[in-house]
Structure 1
Amino acid sequence: MAVAMAQLGKRGGTRALALGLLAPGAGYIYTRSPLRFLATMGGFAVSLAAWFASGNIVLPPLLWVMTAWNARRQAVRGRKTWNGARTAIPATLLGVVTAGTIARRRAFRAAQDRGRARAQYLSNVPRLDPQPSDAVRQELSPDDLATLRSLLDRALQPLDRFDGFSKVDQFQTSAIRYQLNFMQWALASAQLHYTPSFHGYLSAAQRNLIDKLTVPRIWRYWAFEQTWGNLSLDWDPMKRDNIMLSGYLGTMLGVYESNTGDDRYRRSGAMPFRLGKRTWPYTHDMVCAAVHDNMQRSSMTLFPCEPNWIYSACNMTGINTLLLSDRLHGTRFRESVGEEFQRRLHDEFITPDGRVTAIRSARLGITIPMLTSTMADCGLASMLHAFDPELAQRCWSIVRREFIDTSGPEPAIALRGWDAIDTGNYRKTHLGAFAPVMWAAAEMGDTELYELLSDSLERQQLPTESAGTRWFDALSTNMNAMLALARFNPPGGHRALIAVGPGKAVLDGPILHGVSYPEVLVASTHTDGADLHLTLYPGDGPARVQIGVDRLVPHRGYRLRGALEDELTADDHGRLHIPIDLAGRTEMSLTPAL
């Protein structure tokens, strides 16, 4: 219709408006305003970036229509026009569309060729089934503890304090919420695999990270995105879309409850999300139900982060939230949506060359190819492992074979799109891709590659060690948190965090609880349900300390080894307070007296 209006219209204003509707700023070519045309193209590019980054669906069409109308006004007011634009603009657009179609078809055929080649070598890749029991280490090393302290120091701040966090924006990957997510997952992984019978400050830090997500500055972004992306003033943070909050939070809640047996977040009003006078009180069960309901409503089952944009990796946190709910609470979410989720993932998000696309528009179906990158593949492999281990292995096998080269003096990671930046602060660096690749290598049991990358990272960027902490200053907080997650992730460790959790002996047996931080650092705790074995380090130099053990049999005697007393009796509540000297690595054990 716009082409017909441009060709048949008798008035200059009508022609300018029609040409302006054909392409952003095209009306200015007709009115001989090249600077306005260039400014419109630049502004439209910015509006598209805003649409991608924050779901602002209003800005691109608004800018387009306003510039078309402004070109009409210029023509109506008598500005000289170029009549040739009536033919040149449609012809140029036709040429662009034709060239784009040809390029897409060629790219599609090339992708199919890559897919066939990949399918051939993938058919010969041995089936992987990494297990945490394959890990050599059974306790946290001094470097592990220094890394852990860096997370704890940030996590244990008051809820409204965020010292040591990267602060750039709250809409995209540098947002503080992702730093909270990955910190808590790292702490939960360390807890499950190395200190399963220790709660104390380690559990308190995880609760603090969960509670920080309810602070308005962390989730206020959704009020903007819901308003300009879904054209709604219903700012409920999880009712519609926003899996980048609900899915990640649901996984945090699930792994915390799984590790500790603490169900406090299932109680009414456990997580109040407040903006001004409005409050949305959520519980763990409500978060899980919101994720499930969004999946049921979505035509692709996978549902959006920002309004319109569906990220495959974010949806892995959503399905993991549901897996945890089924295991912990007896829900049947996987039975309800799991099969359709997997079908849609394979049908809608697998590219012709066999990779998983990172992003797709829920409204238009389009993708952004540059975001399907090495980092995206690796993060997806790690987070997908519990739900679809075969697809997770395929993602990792492609990365390992095609995008990582270990033949040179330093291992090289193929960088594409956003691989070349640290997504936690948007700074350009080739080191930003190390963290997700190391996490995937650890999860998939490629310990050799993990060690190669870890050693290479420390040669290229020496970590800062200060006051008992260890931190890569050149990397963002989010990448440091992901590096910690990789460090604490034994083979198949994230899958176990989601799908298995601790055994009954851990959940019912004695726990180390009353410990002062950073005076006492806990490197390992293990129980068979009756006894307790600990490895401790002093955090502030040699000291005589007192530790508390809970969940013992009231009034029962316990023999101690490595403490200042040989035997103590649990109090009425099944607790013991044990004095111990810490001068270095210290082992202590507690066993029931006969």
Structure 2
Amino acid sequence: MTEEQLGHIRHFDNLSRQLLNDWSMMQGKGIGQFDFGAIRFQVAYMAYGLALAHVHRLPNAPGVFKPVFERLIEKILLPEAWLYWRDVSRGGAVFNAHLAEKYREEWNPVARDNIMYSAYVQSMSLMYHYLFGDDRYAQPGALAFDYWSFFWGGEPKHFEYDENSLNEHLYWQMVESGYLGVACEPNCTFQICNQPAILGFRMHDLVTGENVAAEVTRSYEQAWAQLGRLDSTGHYNMMLTQDSGTVFPNESAAPWIDAWCGTLMNTWNTEFVHSHYPQQIQDLVVEGPDGTKSVRTPPDLQVMGQTVINDTCDFGWVATWASEMGDTATLDGLLAHADRFMKPTCRDGGLFYPRNDTEADDNGNRTIVEPLTGNALLGYARLNVPDGMRKLYNEPWGPEHFTEPALTAVSGDIAVSQARFSSASNVLTFRVQRHGDRDGDGSIVLGNVADRRQWSLTENGVIVATGRAGEPITSDQPSDGPVEIDHVEGGVRVRVPAGAPRTFLLEVSPQ
């Protein structure tokens, strides 16, 4: 992995460690967490980016990703991420003003509609179970939504779910909609926001052996075939109003609509997405200086005589889409533009692009950066591989993956840039670097090793340590500097000093 990729992972980690209700660098232009750049989306797409990096780049380093995932799930359950629903659930907005009397105030953020939040809780918790073989969110009450304030709101609010009950709840909402999808705001069903739910159904199937995702996608496709996924210009229709059955097109060819939908729909509808991508992307991307590429800015949306203030994150979404489509030329051009015009910043070892509300510089180069783009989406795009989310969805790990040697715990001062096991050679290759300016003890725990008949750890062709099940470790000091190796609960601990990156080969006997 590159320094930039490691920097994005570190930034995700840094944001996940912020204190309770410290949302520094995550607040966009909008108010109340209503819009498309809200906290819930930032948290979710950091988690998705971590999943892609784990599966495709560091498959044998769960210790890098698992604790960050847990902290992100903890954050998306906090009231700040979902309390907007108390107001939004009542309707009274542009597309449901006429239905305002029908809807009651709803505190439970997953009880009805609100797929723009509930699907992320569902998919993140089930993705965690699949990636790490850990069923903690399957336990009763593991996903709980709690709110109480001394100042307002009345009695404490407490809504208990787990990954299975939430998945079942969303499935029946999908069925009750006639498979057209679950609404975000009341009456408003977006194509985009139902894709994470489908991803969650697939993660559930990978964990349980069921086949819900295939049923849902088959029926969902049949339902939308009557409406049309694309508008008359070839771009993805934005949404459907449930009461009238009216489909709203992408009238201004807004980049975020095509890119967000295409990025996720590629999981289960890849031929359709790939076939329409060339024409769609051509309408969205503009050439910049020295091989850079940017994204066309559609006119501001005007509603009821007001300019809509909304973090659309067009640039970030087009970057993620290009990464999923394997469009290297477009992705490289967009990232080059970001690095030149969007002030890449390093903070505590983490790489991000800070919020900037100025649309363009004096030369017309796009400079606007929304927190979702700068914190999550550009990192997601760099960490992804061509068809990365499609492969996560369709090419699952087998049970043998969880018996392979792996870095199961990684100290906070260690950056892991390589961790892959070859079953052909029975060798785990891992590359690590300890940073002296970060908190941690420089240790890595190697799991699925201690009970092997025999194992050996080498660096630069020199044996550093050997071991056998039930016997003490034999260790020699490598020429590159001291390495401490001992047995700990859960595996073999390796502690390295601060300095340059170091590459180790762990050879194990077959199970």
TM-score by structure 1 length? 0.70
Contact 2:285–2:295 (CA under 8 A) maintained in structure 1: yes
Q: For residues 262 and 488 of structure 2, what CA distance do their matches in structure 1 show?
A: 48
- Tell me the secondary structure at the aligned position of residue 141 of structure 2: coil
Indicate how the Cα distance of structure 1 residues 234 and 412 shifts in structure 2: closer, same or farther if over 3 A, else same: closer
C-alpha deviations, 1:7-49, integer Å up to 9, x for none? xxxxxxxxxxxxxxxxxxxxxxxxxxxxxxxxxxxxxxxxxxx
Contact 1:526–1:532 (CA under 8 A) maintained in structure 2: yes
TM-superposed CA distance for 1:541, in Å, is 5.8
Q: For residues 105 and 4 of structure 2, what CA distance do their matches in structure 1 show?
A: 48
- Tell me the secondary structure at the aligned position of residue 507 of structure 2: strand
Q: For residues 352 and 427 of structure 1, what CA distance do their matches in structure 2 show?
A: 26
1:525 corresponds, among 378, 399, 419, to 419
Contact 1:360–1:368 (CA under 8 A) maintained in structure 2: no
Corresponding position of 1:356: 236
The aligned runs of 1:155-554 (5 Å cut-off) are: 155-166=16-27, 168-228=31-91, 231-276=103-148, 277-299=156-178, 301-348=180-227, 349-366=229-246, 367=248, 369-370=250-251, 372-406=253-287, 409=290, 410-417=292-299, 426=310, 432-473=313-354, 474=356, 475-480=369-374, 481-517=376-412, 519-528=413-422, 530-540=426-436, 545-554=442-451
Contact 2:147–2:158 (CA under 8 A) maintained in structure 1: yes
Q: For residues 136 and 259 of structure 2, what CA distance do their matches in structure 1 show?
A: 33
Bigger drift between 242-251 and 366-375 goes to 366-375
Q: What is the number of residues matched between the two proteins?
A: 448
Contact 2:236–2:250 (CA under 8 A) maintained in structure 1: no
Gaps of 5+ in 2: 92-99, 149-155, 303-307, 357-368, 470-486
TM-superposed CA distance for 1:582, in Å, is 4.3
Q: For residues 214 and 398 of structure 2, what CA distance do their matches in structure 1 show?
A: 24
- Tell me the secondary structure at the aligned position of residue 123 of structure 2: helix
C-alpha deviations, 1:371-414, integer Å up to 9, x for none? 75222101111100111112211342222333334486543433
For the pair shown, which has the larger CA radius of gyration, 1 or 2?
Answer: 1
Q: For residues 527 and 219 of structure 1, what CA distance do their matches in structure 2 show?
A: 40
Bigger drift between 281-290 and 568-577 goes to 568-577
Q: For residues 209 and 402 of structure 1, what CA distance do their matches in structure 2 show?
A: 35
| One-letter amino acid of the structure 2 residue matched with residue 212 of structure 1 | K
Indicate how the Cα distance of structure 1 residues 415 and 555 shifts in structure 2: closer, same or farther if over 3 A, else same: closer
Q: For residues 593 and 280 of structure 1, what CA distance do their matches in structure 2 show?
A: 48
- Tell me the secondary structure at the aligned position of residue 383 of structure 1: helix
Contact 1:305–1:311 (CA under 8 A) maintained in structure 2: yes
TM-superposed CA distance for 1:162, in Å, is 2.5
Q: For residues 205 and 172 of structure 1, what CA distance do their matches in structure 2 show?
A: 25
Contact 1:246–1:290 (CA under 8 A) maintained in structure 2: no
| One-letter amino acid of the structure 1 residue matched with residue 297 of structure 2 | L
- Tell me the secondary structure at the aligned position of residue 566 of structure 1: strand
Corresponding position of 1:143: 4
- Tell me the secondary structure at the aligned position of residue 496 of structure 2: strand
Q: For residues 175 and 48 of structure 2, what CA distance do their matches in structure 1 show?
A: 27
C-alpha RMSD of the superposition: 2.9
Contact 2:16–2:75 (CA under 8 A) maintained in structure 1: no
- Tell me the secondary structure at the aligned position of residue 514 of structure 1: strand
Higher relative contact order (CA 8 A, sep 6+): 2
Indicate how the Cα distance of structure 1 residues 198 and 419 shifts in structure 2: closer, same or farther if over 3 A, else same: farther
C-alpha deviations, 1:274-326, integer Å up to 9, x for none? 23323211111122112211111114521201111111111111222112222
Once the two structures are aligned, what percentage of the paired residues are identical?
Answer: 21
Indicate how the Cα distance of structure 1 residues 236 and 415 shifts in structure 2: closer, same or farther if over 3 A, else same: same
Q: For residues 339 and 124 of structure 2, what CA distance do their matches in structure 1 show?
A: 29
Corresponding position of 2:305: none
Pick the structure with more helix per residue.
1
Q: For residues 553 and 544 of structure 1, what CA distance do their matches in structure 2 show?
A: 21
- Tell me the secondary structure at the aligned position of residue 226 of structure 2: helix
| One-letter amino acid of the structure 2 residue matched with residue 238 of structure 1 | V
Contact 2:184–2:193 (CA under 8 A) maintained in structure 1: yes
Indicate how the Cα distance of structure 1 residues 250 and 499 shifts in structure 2: closer, same or farther if over 3 A, else same: farther
| One-letter amino acid of the structure 1 residue matched with residue 409 of structure 2 | G
Indicate how the Cα distance of structure 1 residues 532 and 158 shifts in structure 2: closer, same or farther if over 3 A, else same: farther
TM-score by structure 2 length? 0.80
TM-superposed CA distance for 1:572, in Å, is 8.7
C-alpha deviations, 1:182-232, integer Å up to 9, x for none? 111111111111111112252111111112122122211222233445523
TM-superposed CA distance for 1:267, in Å, is 1.1
| One-letter amino acid of the structure 1 residue matched with residue 420 of structure 2 | H
Pick the structure with more strand per residue.
2
2:492 corresponds, among 576, 582, 590, to 576
Gaps of 5+ in 1: 1-139
Q: For residues 559 and 164 of structure 1, what CA distance do their matches in structure 2 show?
A: 45
Corresponding position of 1:85: none
